[in-house]
Amino acid sequence: MKTKILVFNWKMNPSSLLEAKKLAKISDKKNVVICSPFLFLNEVKENIKNAEIGAQNVSWVNPSTDGGAYTGEISCLMLEKNKCKYVIVGHSERRFALKESDVEINKKIKEIISLKLKPILCIGSDKKDKRSEKEMESQIKKALIGVKISEIKNIVIAYEPVWAISTNKQSSPAVPEDAKKAEIFIRKILIKLFNEKEALRVKIIYGGSVDSKNIKNFIEINGISGVLVGGASLKEEEIKKMLKNR
């Protein structure tokens, strides 16, 4: 079985550098991507040897053509020069709570790819019926406008049904069958947009209430390349168990 990746999305946590360093050290294993807040990225990097670092967001502005006058933003160039490898894009919390649009997501994806970073494109609906497939199809198509066939293999797609994310009210974890169904669906769209060979090279991961108890069930799915973990990636015991149980 190919090694699967674990993406730890700390979201707007922890509140201190001390805690961030502690979490980083515990999580420091191969095939782990630690997506820390920008504030801690450099220190996290200095405290790990095996894991990679990722950002949770980025600006779509290209400083070499558009200059640097964008207060509060972080560019892909800054991430690339600071040894960041991955960037989460289009997380549902940004799409829904922060009103990030498909157009912005697409611009970010293109900028990320142009700097040879890897986007982790999150897609997923808050619906559980047929409408969710339409929504996901639209999210994928709009996010990948203008992406070249040679670039698609560098994109990780995270299937994150909004109803399965642990912090959402009345969330209910997905079952492995949901993840497998979504993986097949996503690949079908990628085949239509690109071709079968390239579509099969895209890493598709699952996210939503993954913890030490269910991680194996998702990771063992053929076609699923790993998991994206939120809440459990902030808990010491959970991290240790997840790394052991994967």
Which sequence positions are flagged as catalytic? 91, 160
Q: At what angle do helices 131-143 and 102-114 cross, to 10 degrees?
A: 40
Closest approach, Cβ 178 to ligand PGA, in A, equals 14
Q: Which is nearer to ligand PGA, 62 or 166 (CB)?
A: 166
Closest approach, Cβ 235 to ligand PGA, in A, equals 10
Strand positions, DSSP E, the chain: 5-9, 32-35, 52-55, 86-89, 118-123, 156-159, 203-207, 226-229
Select the span of 61-69, 75-83, 98-106, 205-213 touching ligand PGA (CB under 6 A).
205-213
Looking at residue 124, the DSSP 8-state letter turns out to be -
How far is 101 from 69, CA to CA, in rounded Å?
A: 22
Give the tokens for residue 243.
């790394």
Residue of 54, 161, 207, 226 that binds ligand PGA (CB under 6 A): 207
Nearest to 4 by CA among 219, 153, 215: 219
221 to 55, 225, 228: CA distances (angstroms): 26, 8, 14
Q: Which is nearer to ligand PGA, 46 or 220 (CB)?
A: 220
Using CB under 6 A as the binding rule, the residues of this chain from 125 to 164 that contact ligand PGA are 160
Residue of 90, 119, 208, 226 that binds ligand PGA (CB under 6 A): 208
Q: Does 13 bind ligand PGA (CB under 6 A)?
A: no
Q: Does 238 bind ligand PGA (CB under 6 A)?
A: no
Give the tokens for residue 178.
């949901």
Closest approach, Cβ 41 to ligand PGA, in A, equals 18
β-bridge mates for residue 54, sequence order: 35, 86
Q: Which is nearer to ligand PGA, 63 or 231 (CB)?
A: 231
Q: Which is nearer to ligand PGA, 114 or 172 (CB)?
A: 172
Q: Which helix (H) or strand (E) holds 31?
A: none
How far is 236 from 214, CA to CA, in rounded Å?
A: 17
Closest approach, Cβ 171 to ligand PGA, in A, equals 7
Residue of 27, 36, 106, 209 that binds ligand PGA (CB under 6 A): 209
Q: Which is nearer to ligand PGA, 76 or 158 (CB)?
A: 158
- Contact set with ligand PGA (CB under 6 A): 9, 160, 165-167, 207-210, 228-232
